[in-house]
Structure 1
Protein backbone atom coordinates (compact mmCIF):
# COMPACT_ATOMS: atom_id res chain seq x y z
CA UNK A 1 0.00 0.00 0.00
CA UNK A 2 1.30 3.43 -0.92
CA UNK A 3 2.45 5.50 2.03
CA UNK A 4 0.28 8.43 2.98
CA UNK A 5 1.69 11.93 2.68
CA UNK A 6 1.95 12.15 6.47
CA UNK A 7 3.93 8.92 6.68
CA UNK A 8 6.29 10.16 3.99
CA UNK A 9 6.77 13.44 5.83
CA UNK A 10 7.44 11.66 9.12
CA UNK A 11 9.97 9.36 7.51
CA UNK A 12 11.76 12.31 5.97
CA UNK A 13 11.81 14.37 9.18
CA UNK A 14 13.12 11.40 11.21
CA UNK A 15 15.96 10.98 8.76
CA UNK A 16 16.77 14.70 8.72
CA UNK A 17 16.82 14.81 12.52
CA UNK A 18 18.92 11.66 12.93
CA UNK A 19 20.28 10.08 9.74
CA UNK A 20 22.36 7.60 11.75
CA UNK A 21 19.28 6.02 13.31
CA UNK A 22 16.75 6.16 10.45
CA UNK A 23 16.61 5.00 6.87
CA UNK A 24 16.29 7.68 4.18
CA UNK A 25 12.87 8.02 2.54
CA UNK A 26 12.67 6.27 -0.83
CA UNK A 27 12.61 8.20 -4.05
CA UNK A 28 14.70 11.19 -2.90
CA UNK A 29 18.32 11.36 -3.97
CA UNK A 30 20.99 11.66 -1.28
CA UNK A 31 22.14 15.05 -2.53
CA UNK A 32 18.70 16.58 -1.99
CA UNK A 33 18.40 15.03 1.47
CA UNK A 34 21.78 16.49 2.41
CA UNK A 35 20.58 19.92 1.31
CA UNK A 36 17.42 19.61 3.43
CA UNK A 37 19.38 18.48 6.47
CA UNK A 38 21.91 21.28 6.14
CA UNK A 39 19.08 23.79 5.77
CA UNK A 40 17.21 22.71 8.89
CA UNK A 41 20.16 21.77 11.10
CA UNK A 42 22.20 24.76 9.96
CA UNK A 43 19.40 27.11 10.94
CA UNK A 44 19.20 25.49 14.38
CA UNK A 45 22.95 25.75 14.91
CA UNK A 46 22.90 29.42 13.92
CA UNK A 47 20.02 30.07 16.30
CA UNK A 48 21.78 28.37 19.23
CA UNK A 49 25.14 30.02 18.50
CA UNK A 50 23.38 33.39 18.57
CA UNK A 51 21.66 32.63 21.87
CA UNK A 52 24.77 31.16 23.53
CA UNK A 53 27.75 33.07 22.07
CA UNK A 54 30.05 32.53 25.07
CA UNK A 55 29.28 28.82 25.35
CA UNK A 56 29.71 28.41 21.61
CA UNK A 57 33.10 30.15 21.71
CA UNK A 58 34.24 28.29 24.84
CA UNK A 59 33.61 24.73 23.68
CA UNK A 60 35.80 22.87 21.18
CA UNK A 61 34.19 22.82 17.76
CA UNK A 62 33.69 19.05 17.87
CA UNK A 63 31.97 19.21 21.27
CA UNK A 64 29.61 22.00 20.19
CA UNK A 65 28.81 20.08 17.01
CA UNK A 66 28.11 16.90 18.99
CA UNK A 67 25.85 18.65 21.50
CA UNK A 68 23.78 20.42 18.88
CA UNK A 69 23.46 17.30 16.74
CA UNK A 70 22.34 15.23 19.73
CA UNK A 71 19.88 17.92 20.81
CA UNK A 72 18.45 18.05 17.29
CA UNK A 73 18.22 14.26 17.06
CA UNK A 74 16.83 13.17 20.42
CA UNK A 75 15.38 16.08 22.40
CA UNK A 76 11.65 16.68 21.98
CA UNK A 77 11.00 20.40 22.28
CA UNK A 78 7.67 21.41 23.78
CA UNK A 79 7.41 24.75 22.01
CA UNK A 80 6.95 25.74 18.36
CA UNK A 81 8.41 29.22 19.00
CA UNK A 82 11.95 30.00 17.87
CA UNK A 83 12.32 32.46 20.76
CA UNK A 84 11.87 29.60 23.25
CA UNK A 85 14.25 27.05 21.69
CA UNK A 86 17.13 28.41 23.81
CA UNK A 87 15.25 27.46 26.98
CA UNK A 88 14.73 23.96 25.61
CA UNK A 89 18.48 23.69 24.93
CA UNK A 90 19.15 24.66 28.56
CA UNK A 91 16.79 21.86 29.69
CA UNK A 92 18.61 19.44 27.41
CA UNK A 93 22.04 20.39 28.81
CA UNK A 94 20.84 20.20 32.41
CA UNK A 95 19.69 16.63 31.85
CA UNK A 96 22.76 15.49 29.92
CA UNK A 97 25.49 13.61 31.75
CA UNK A 98 29.14 13.28 30.77
CA UNK A 99 30.06 16.94 30.38
CA UNK A 100 31.73 19.56 32.57
CA UNK A 101 29.31 21.00 35.09
CA UNK A 102 29.95 24.56 33.99
CA UNK A 103 28.46 23.91 30.53
CA UNK A 104 24.82 23.75 31.65
CA UNK A 105 25.28 26.58 34.15
CA UNK A 106 26.87 28.88 31.58
CA UNK A 107 24.02 28.10 29.17
CA UNK A 108 21.47 29.02 31.84
CA UNK A 109 23.35 32.23 32.63
CA UNK A 110 23.26 33.25 28.97
CA UNK A 111 19.64 32.19 28.55
CA UNK A 112 18.29 34.15 31.51
CA UNK A 113 19.33 37.39 29.82
CA UNK A 114 17.30 36.53 26.72
CA UNK A 115 14.36 35.36 28.83
CA UNK A 116 14.22 38.65 30.73
CA UNK A 117 14.66 40.72 27.58
CA UNK A 118 11.75 38.98 25.87
CA UNK A 119 9.50 38.69 28.93
CA UNK A 120 6.05 40.22 28.54
CA UNK A 121 4.92 39.52 32.08
CA UNK A 122 2.82 42.24 33.64
CA UNK A 123 3.59 43.26 37.20
CA UNK A 124 0.76 42.44 39.65
CA UNK A 125 -1.11 45.11 41.57
CA UNK A 126 0.93 46.53 44.42
CA UNK A 127 1.33 49.52 46.70
CA UNK A 128 4.57 51.29 45.72
CA UNK A 129 4.60 53.13 49.06
CA UNK A 130 3.78 50.15 51.25
CA UNK A 131 5.63 49.39 54.48
CA UNK A 132 8.39 46.94 53.56
CA UNK A 133 8.59 45.52 57.10
CA UNK A 134 4.94 45.13 58.06
CA UNK A 135 3.65 44.67 54.51
CA UNK A 136 4.41 41.83 52.08
CA UNK A 137 7.26 42.93 49.78
CA UNK A 138 6.70 42.14 46.10
CA UNK A 139 9.63 41.10 43.94
CA UNK A 140 9.54 42.30 40.33
CA UNK A 141 8.79 39.61 37.77
CA UNK A 142 11.71 41.05 35.79
CA UNK A 143 14.24 40.23 38.53
CA UNK A 144 15.71 36.82 39.29
CA UNK A 145 18.14 35.73 42.04
CA UNK A 146 20.59 33.18 40.66
CA UNK A 147 23.01 30.73 42.27
CA UNK A 148 25.68 28.86 40.32
CA UNK A 149 28.34 26.41 41.42
CA UNK A 150 30.69 27.71 38.73
CA UNK A 151 31.88 31.30 38.10
CA UNK A 152 29.66 31.74 35.04
CA UNK A 153 30.17 35.48 34.77
CA UNK A 154 33.90 34.98 34.19
CA UNK A 155 33.93 31.90 31.95
CA UNK A 156 35.06 32.43 28.38
CA UNK A 157 37.30 30.95 25.69
CA UNK A 158 40.41 32.09 27.60
CA UNK A 159 39.10 31.34 31.08
CA UNK A 160 37.79 27.78 31.38
CA UNK A 161 37.61 26.60 35.03
CA UNK A 162 39.54 23.43 35.78
CA UNK A 163 37.97 22.78 39.18
CA UNK A 164 34.89 23.77 41.12
CA UNK A 165 35.43 26.86 43.29
CA UNK A 166 34.84 26.71 47.03
CA UNK A 167 32.18 29.43 47.01
CA UNK A 168 29.10 29.68 44.76
CA UNK A 169 28.46 32.56 42.40
CA UNK A 170 25.39 34.46 43.61
CA UNK A 171 23.89 36.94 41.17
CA UNK A 172 20.88 39.13 40.57
CA UNK A 173 19.62 39.49 37.00
CA UNK A 174 17.11 42.23 36.36
CA UNK A 175 15.67 44.14 33.42
CA UNK A 176 15.87 47.84 34.04
CA UNK A 177 13.86 50.78 32.83
CA UNK A 178 16.41 51.12 30.02
CA UNK A 179 15.16 47.73 28.72
CA UNK A 180 18.61 46.22 29.29
CA UNK A 181 19.40 43.24 31.51
CA UNK A 182 21.86 43.98 34.30
CA UNK A 183 23.75 41.46 36.43
CA UNK A 184 25.15 42.20 39.89
CA UNK A 185 26.91 40.11 42.51
CA UNK A 186 25.00 39.30 45.68
CA UNK A 187 26.09 38.69 49.24
CA UNK A 188 24.69 35.49 50.80
CA UNK A 189 22.14 37.39 52.92
CA UNK A 190 20.89 39.39 49.92
CA UNK A 191 20.54 36.25 47.81
CA UNK A 192 18.70 34.39 50.59
CA UNK A 193 16.32 37.32 51.08
CA UNK A 194 15.55 37.55 47.35
CA UNK A 195 14.89 33.80 47.13
CA UNK A 196 12.58 34.11 50.14
CA UNK A 197 10.72 37.02 48.51
CA UNK A 198 10.42 34.99 45.31
CA UNK A 199 8.99 31.90 47.00
CA UNK A 200 6.96 33.08 50.00
CA UNK A 201 4.34 35.72 50.69
CA UNK A 202 5.50 36.90 54.11
CA UNK A 203 5.89 40.31 55.64
CA UNK A 204 9.35 41.80 55.46
CA UNK A 205 9.75 41.28 59.19
CA UNK A 206 8.80 37.60 58.84
CA UNK A 207 11.29 37.13 55.99
CA UNK A 208 14.08 38.52 58.13
CA UNK A 209 13.04 36.46 61.15
CA UNK A 210 13.05 33.26 59.09
CA UNK A 211 16.51 34.06 57.68
CA UNK A 212 17.83 34.76 61.18
CA UNK A 213 16.53 31.38 62.38
CA UNK A 214 18.18 29.60 59.47
CA UNK A 215 21.47 31.42 60.11
CA UNK A 216 21.24 30.59 63.83
CA UNK A 217 21.30 34.18 65.02
CA UNK A 218 18.88 36.50 66.80
CA UNK A 219 16.59 38.53 64.48
CA UNK A 220 18.07 41.74 65.87
CA UNK A 221 21.48 40.71 64.50
CA UNK A 222 20.35 41.07 60.87
CA UNK A 223 17.32 43.34 61.16
CA UNK A 224 19.17 46.59 60.54
CA UNK A 225 21.04 45.17 57.57
CA UNK A 226 17.86 43.53 56.29
CA UNK A 227 15.82 46.76 56.46
CA UNK A 228 18.53 48.65 54.59
CA UNK A 229 18.67 45.88 52.00
CA UNK A 230 14.90 45.95 51.42
CA UNK A 231 15.00 49.72 50.96
CA UNK A 232 17.92 49.46 48.54
CA UNK A 233 16.09 46.81 46.51
CA UNK A 234 13.05 49.08 46.40
CA UNK A 235 15.16 51.99 45.12
CA UNK A 236 16.58 49.77 42.37
CA UNK A 237 13.10 48.63 41.28
CA UNK A 238 13.86 45.02 42.22
CA UNK A 239 11.20 45.21 44.92
CA UNK A 240 8.13 47.02 43.59
CA UNK A 241 6.41 47.74 46.89
CA UNK A 242 4.01 45.60 48.90
CA UNK A 243 0.92 43.49 48.33
CA UNK A 244 -1.73 42.17 50.73
CA UNK A 245 -0.72 39.19 52.82
CA UNK A 246 -2.60 36.23 51.30
CA UNK A 247 -2.29 33.87 54.23
CA UNK A 248 0.80 32.12 52.89
CA UNK A 249 2.95 29.79 55.04
CA UNK A 250 4.56 31.53 57.98
CA UNK A 251 7.88 29.69 57.77
CA UNK A 252 10.27 29.47 54.86
CA UNK A 253 12.29 26.22 54.43
CA UNK A 254 15.29 27.99 52.86
CA UNK A 255 18.65 26.28 52.78
CA UNK A 256 21.21 27.49 55.33
CA UNK A 257 23.41 30.21 53.85
Structure 2
Protein backbone atom coordinates (compact mmCIF):
# COMPACT_ATOMS: atom_id res chain seq x y z
CA UNK A 1 0.00 0.00 0.00
CA UNK A 2 2.70 2.60 0.82
CA UNK A 3 4.31 1.87 -2.56
CA UNK A 4 1.01 2.33 -4.38
CA UNK A 5 0.34 5.59 -2.53
CA UNK A 6 3.82 6.85 -3.44
CA UNK A 7 3.20 6.08 -7.11
CA UNK A 8 -0.15 7.87 -7.02
CA UNK A 9 1.36 10.94 -5.37
CA UNK A 10 4.23 11.06 -7.88
CA UNK A 11 1.79 10.73 -10.78
CA UNK A 12 -0.24 13.57 -9.33
CA UNK A 13 2.85 15.74 -8.75
CA UNK A 14 4.23 15.21 -12.25
CA UNK A 15 0.89 16.11 -13.80
CA UNK A 16 0.41 19.22 -11.67
CA UNK A 17 3.93 20.45 -12.52
CA UNK A 18 3.78 19.65 -16.24
CA UNK A 19 0.33 18.68 -17.48
CA UNK A 20 1.38 18.86 -21.15
CA UNK A 21 3.80 15.95 -20.78
CA UNK A 22 2.30 13.89 -17.93
CA UNK A 23 -1.09 12.21 -17.81
CA UNK A 24 -3.31 12.89 -14.77
CA UNK A 25 -3.87 10.18 -12.18
CA UNK A 26 -7.02 8.13 -12.85
CA UNK A 27 -10.20 8.71 -10.95
CA UNK A 28 -9.85 12.43 -10.23
CA UNK A 29 -12.34 14.86 -11.70
CA UNK A 30 -10.82 17.16 -14.35
CA UNK A 31 -12.24 20.24 -12.63
CA UNK A 32 -10.47 19.34 -9.40
CA UNK A 33 -7.19 18.76 -11.20
CA UNK A 34 -7.47 22.18 -12.83
CA UNK A 35 -7.90 23.75 -9.39
CA UNK A 36 -4.77 22.01 -8.11
CA UNK A 37 -2.74 23.04 -11.17
CA UNK A 38 -3.70 26.68 -10.95
CA UNK A 39 -3.33 26.83 -7.17
CA UNK A 40 0.21 25.42 -7.11
CA UNK A 41 1.44 27.38 -10.12
CA UNK A 42 -0.20 30.56 -8.85
CA UNK A 43 1.66 30.27 -5.54
CA UNK A 44 5.00 29.87 -7.29
CA UNK A 45 4.33 32.70 -9.72
CA UNK A 46 3.25 34.97 -6.87
CA UNK A 47 6.40 34.24 -4.87
CA UNK A 48 8.66 34.92 -7.83
CA UNK A 49 6.77 38.08 -8.82
CA UNK A 50 7.32 39.43 -5.32
CA UNK A 51 10.98 38.46 -5.27
CA UNK A 52 11.83 39.78 -8.74
CA UNK A 53 9.56 42.79 -9.35
CA UNK A 54 11.87 44.49 -11.87
CA UNK A 55 12.18 41.35 -13.99
CA UNK A 56 8.43 40.78 -13.77
CA UNK A 57 7.74 44.32 -14.96
CA UNK A 58 10.46 44.32 -17.64
CA UNK A 59 9.56 41.09 -19.46
CA UNK A 60 6.48 40.75 -21.66
CA UNK A 61 3.71 39.01 -19.73
CA UNK A 62 3.78 35.93 -21.94
CA UNK A 63 7.53 35.56 -21.66
CA UNK A 64 7.41 35.88 -17.88
CA UNK A 65 4.67 33.24 -17.65
CA UNK A 66 6.65 30.86 -19.89
CA UNK A 67 9.80 31.44 -17.85
CA UNK A 68 8.04 30.65 -14.57
CA UNK A 69 6.28 27.62 -16.06
CA UNK A 70 9.59 26.24 -17.35
CA UNK A 71 11.19 26.73 -13.94
CA UNK A 72 8.18 25.15 -12.24
CA UNK A 73 8.05 22.14 -14.57
CA UNK A 74 11.72 21.38 -15.23
CA UNK A 75 13.94 22.69 -12.45
CA UNK A 76 14.61 20.49 -9.44
CA UNK A 77 15.09 22.64 -6.35
CA UNK A 78 17.53 21.52 -3.68
CA UNK A 79 15.41 22.88 -0.81
CA UNK A 80 11.72 22.71 0.10
CA UNK A 81 11.80 26.12 1.81
CA UNK A 82 9.70 28.83 0.16
CA UNK A 83 12.08 31.48 1.53
CA UNK A 84 14.86 30.00 -0.61
CA UNK A 85 12.92 29.72 -3.85
CA UNK A 86 14.34 33.02 -5.11
CA UNK A 87 17.87 31.61 -4.82
CA UNK A 88 16.76 28.51 -6.74
CA UNK A 89 15.33 30.73 -9.48
CA UNK A 90 18.68 32.55 -9.72
CA UNK A 91 20.44 29.19 -10.09
CA UNK A 92 17.93 28.18 -12.77
CA UNK A 93 18.71 31.33 -14.77
CA UNK A 94 22.46 30.85 -14.30
CA UNK A 95 22.15 27.40 -15.83
CA UNK A 96 20.47 28.80 -18.94
CA UNK A 97 16.77 28.78 -18.00
CA UNK A 98 16.11 25.53 -19.78
CA UNK A 99 17.52 26.97 -23.03
CA UNK A 100 14.54 29.26 -23.51
CA UNK A 101 15.03 31.48 -26.53
CA UNK A 102 14.72 35.24 -26.60
CA UNK A 103 15.63 35.99 -23.00
CA UNK A 104 17.62 39.23 -22.50
CA UNK A 105 21.34 38.78 -21.87
CA UNK A 106 21.13 40.74 -18.61
CA UNK A 107 18.42 38.56 -17.07
CA UNK A 108 20.60 36.29 -14.89
CA UNK A 109 22.58 39.20 -13.46
CA UNK A 110 19.47 41.25 -12.74
CA UNK A 111 17.94 38.25 -10.98
CA UNK A 112 21.02 37.90 -8.78
CA UNK A 113 20.94 41.62 -7.98
CA UNK A 114 17.27 41.43 -6.96
CA UNK A 115 17.89 38.26 -4.94
CA UNK A 116 20.73 39.86 -2.93
CA UNK A 117 18.31 42.12 -1.07
CA UNK A 118 16.12 39.27 0.17
CA UNK A 119 19.16 37.10 0.94
CA UNK A 120 20.66 39.78 3.15
CA UNK A 121 17.33 40.57 4.82
CA UNK A 122 16.87 36.90 5.75
CA UNK A 123 20.50 36.25 6.66
CA UNK A 124 21.16 35.00 10.17
CA UNK A 125 24.94 34.89 9.74
CA UNK A 126 26.97 35.72 12.83
CA UNK A 127 29.73 38.29 12.68
CA UNK A 128 33.22 36.85 13.32
CA UNK A 129 35.08 37.64 16.52
CA UNK A 130 36.97 40.89 15.97
CA UNK A 131 38.73 43.84 17.55
CA UNK A 132 36.84 46.98 16.42
CA UNK A 133 39.86 49.18 17.19
CA UNK A 134 42.52 46.90 15.71
CA UNK A 135 45.36 48.16 13.51
CA UNK A 136 43.99 47.96 9.97
CA UNK A 137 47.44 47.82 8.38
CA UNK A 138 49.21 45.35 10.64
CA UNK A 139 46.16 43.33 11.69
CA UNK A 140 43.88 41.15 9.55
CA UNK A 141 40.85 43.27 8.53
CA UNK A 142 37.48 41.50 8.62
CA UNK A 143 34.51 42.33 6.39
CA UNK A 144 31.01 42.19 7.86
CA UNK A 145 29.05 39.11 6.85
CA UNK A 146 26.20 41.52 6.03
CA UNK A 147 28.25 43.54 3.51
CA UNK A 148 28.65 42.06 0.04
CA UNK A 149 30.78 43.56 -2.74
CA UNK A 150 29.15 42.83 -6.10
CA UNK A 151 30.35 43.05 -9.70
CA UNK A 152 28.09 42.84 -12.75
CA UNK A 153 28.71 43.09 -16.46
CA UNK A 154 25.36 44.81 -16.94
CA UNK A 155 24.06 48.00 -15.23
CA UNK A 156 21.62 46.02 -13.10
CA UNK A 157 20.71 48.92 -10.83
CA UNK A 158 19.44 50.90 -13.84
CA UNK A 159 17.53 48.26 -15.81
CA UNK A 160 13.78 48.82 -15.80
CA UNK A 161 10.79 48.52 -18.14
CA UNK A 162 11.95 51.78 -19.71
CA UNK A 163 15.65 50.94 -19.96
CA UNK A 164 16.77 47.58 -21.32
CA UNK A 165 20.26 47.80 -22.85
CA UNK A 166 21.24 45.62 -25.81
CA UNK A 167 24.96 45.80 -25.08
CA UNK A 168 26.89 45.72 -21.84
CA UNK A 169 28.90 48.89 -21.14
CA UNK A 170 32.69 48.87 -21.22
CA UNK A 171 32.92 49.26 -17.44
CA UNK A 172 31.33 46.78 -15.00
CA UNK A 173 28.86 47.82 -12.31
CA UNK A 174 30.64 47.63 -8.96
CA UNK A 175 28.25 47.77 -6.03
CA UNK A 176 28.08 47.23 -2.30
CA UNK A 177 25.01 45.68 -0.68
CA UNK A 178 24.86 46.10 3.08
CA UNK A 179 22.24 45.37 5.72
CA UNK A 180 22.59 48.15 8.24
CA UNK A 181 21.39 48.68 11.79
CA UNK A 182 17.98 49.83 10.53
CA UNK A 183 17.50 46.27 9.20
CA UNK A 184 17.24 47.56 5.65
CA UNK A 185 19.50 46.65 2.74
CA UNK A 186 21.30 49.61 1.21
CA UNK A 187 23.06 49.58 -2.16
CA UNK A 188 25.90 51.94 -3.08
CA UNK A 189 28.44 52.19 -5.86
CA UNK A 190 32.04 51.15 -5.29
CA UNK A 191 35.19 52.57 -6.82
CA UNK A 192 37.43 49.92 -8.44
CA UNK A 193 39.97 50.11 -5.60
CA UNK A 194 37.29 49.69 -2.93
CA UNK A 195 35.76 46.70 -4.72
CA UNK A 196 39.13 45.07 -5.28
CA UNK A 197 40.11 45.60 -1.64
CA UNK A 198 36.85 44.21 -0.23
CA UNK A 199 37.02 41.20 -2.54
CA UNK A 200 40.61 40.59 -1.46
CA UNK A 201 39.66 40.85 2.22
CA UNK A 202 36.96 38.21 1.70
CA UNK A 203 39.20 35.83 -0.23
CA UNK A 204 42.27 35.62 1.99
CA UNK A 205 43.33 36.31 5.57
CA UNK A 206 46.40 38.52 5.69
CA UNK A 207 47.31 41.94 7.01
CA UNK A 208 45.88 45.10 5.53
CA UNK A 209 49.36 46.06 4.42
CA UNK A 210 49.77 42.80 2.51
CA UNK A 211 46.38 43.22 0.83
CA UNK A 212 47.30 46.70 -0.36
CA UNK A 213 50.77 45.65 -1.54
CA UNK A 214 49.21 42.85 -3.58
CA UNK A 215 46.68 45.23 -5.14
CA UNK A 216 49.41 47.73 -5.99
CA UNK A 217 51.52 45.02 -7.63
CA UNK A 218 48.53 43.70 -9.57
CA UNK A 219 47.87 47.07 -11.22
CA UNK A 220 51.50 48.16 -11.46
CA UNK A 221 51.04 51.09 -9.07
CA UNK A 222 53.39 52.55 -6.50
CA UNK A 223 53.01 50.63 -3.25
CA UNK A 224 53.32 53.70 -1.04
CA UNK A 225 50.67 55.60 -2.96
CA UNK A 226 48.22 52.69 -2.75
CA UNK A 227 49.09 52.19 0.93
CA UNK A 228 48.11 55.75 1.74
CA UNK A 229 44.85 55.60 -0.21
CA UNK A 230 44.08 52.12 1.03
CA UNK A 231 44.49 52.97 4.70
CA UNK A 232 42.12 55.91 4.36
CA UNK A 233 39.67 53.61 2.56
CA UNK A 234 39.89 50.95 5.29
CA UNK A 235 39.24 53.55 7.98
CA UNK A 236 36.22 54.85 6.04
CA UNK A 237 34.87 51.32 5.54
CA UNK A 238 35.21 50.64 9.25
CA UNK A 239 33.28 53.80 10.05
CA UNK A 240 30.50 52.55 7.77
CA UNK A 241 30.44 49.12 9.42
CA UNK A 242 31.53 47.39 6.24
CA UNK A 243 34.86 46.46 7.82
CA UNK A 244 34.32 45.31 11.39
CA UNK A 245 37.89 45.80 12.57
CA UNK A 246 40.62 43.19 12.71
CA UNK A 247 40.73 39.54 13.62
CA UNK A 248 40.62 39.11 17.38
Structure 1 length-normalised TM:
0.92
Cα distance between partner residues in 1 of 2:110 and 2:7: 39
Q: Which residue of 2 aligns with 1:209?
A: 213
The answer on 1:173 being equivalent to 2:158 is no
**Residues 131, 5 of structure 1: CA spacing in aligned structure 2 closer, same or farther, 3 A cutoff?**
same
Cα distance between partner residues in 1 of 2:235 and 2:19: 57
Superposition RMSD on alpha carbons, in Å? 1.4
The answer on 1:27 being equivalent to 2:31 is no
Pairing 1:6-25 to 2, within 5 Å after superposition: 6-25=6-25
> 1:31 deviation in Å?
1.5
- Number of equivalent positions: 244
Q: Which residue of 2 aligns with 1:250?
A: none
The Cα offsets for residues 144-167 of structure 1, whole Å up to 9 and x where unpaired, read as 000001100011111111211111
Q: Which residue of 2 aligns with 1:230?
A: 234
Q: Which residue of 2 aligns with 1:190?
A: 194
The Cα offsets for residues 50-70 of structure 1, whole Å up to 9 and x where unpaired, read as 011111001111111111000
Pairing 1:236-255 to 2, within 5 Å after superposition: 236-243=240-247
Cα distance between partner residues in 1 of 2:83 and 2:33: 27
The answer on 1:46 being equivalent to 2:46 is yes
> 1:29 deviation in Å?
2.1
The Cα offsets for residues 107-132 of structure 1, whole Å up to 9 and x where unpaired, read as 10010000001101111111111000
Q: Which residue of 2 aligns with 1:124?
A: 128
Query: Secondary structure in 2 aligned to 1:101?
Result: coil
Residue number among 142, 149, 154 corresponding to 1:150 in the alignment: 154
Q: Which residue of 2 aligns with 1:74?
A: 74
Gaps of 5+ in 2: none
Cα distance between partner residues in 2 of 1:105 and 1:30: 40
Cα distance between partner residues in 2 of 1:53 and 1:193: 32
